[in-house]
Amino acid sequence: MSLKSLKETALKATSLSDLMLDREQLTTDELNGQTVTPIAVDIAALQGKKFPVFVFAEYPDHYYNGGIILEKIVEAWVAADDGDLSLVNDELADNTGDVRFRFRTGKTKDGKNNLTTVDII
């Protein structure tokens, strides 16, 4: 195995999703107020908690770890495609722009917790 292969293998082994490889993470603050187009999604898990990982057309060199709202959307998409995440990704690629998300951040009514609203456009 070459040094490059060793590095690539190590990176892949320590990544939670292939969508994270060679990409920088986007934060919710960076997406606040923006409208983005999902072009790929994966489901990652950390310490028993699942979450979606997205790549957006507007940020192809970045990925975004979604919260509960995006997780529910991905679960519905996967269920509609008989549990096949690869079909969801095929549909995102074939229908780029069919669905877009607008992110808005704020606080819960009591002001204690952060809240992210995702508008589906």
Per the structure block, which two tokens stand in for 50?
Answer: 């699942």
- At 101 the pLDDT is 97
CA torsion through residues 8, 14, 18, 24, sign: negative
Condensed to tens digits (0 to 9), the pLDDT of residues 1-57 reads: 666 677 777 766 667 899 999 999 999 999 999 999 999 999 999 999 999 999 999
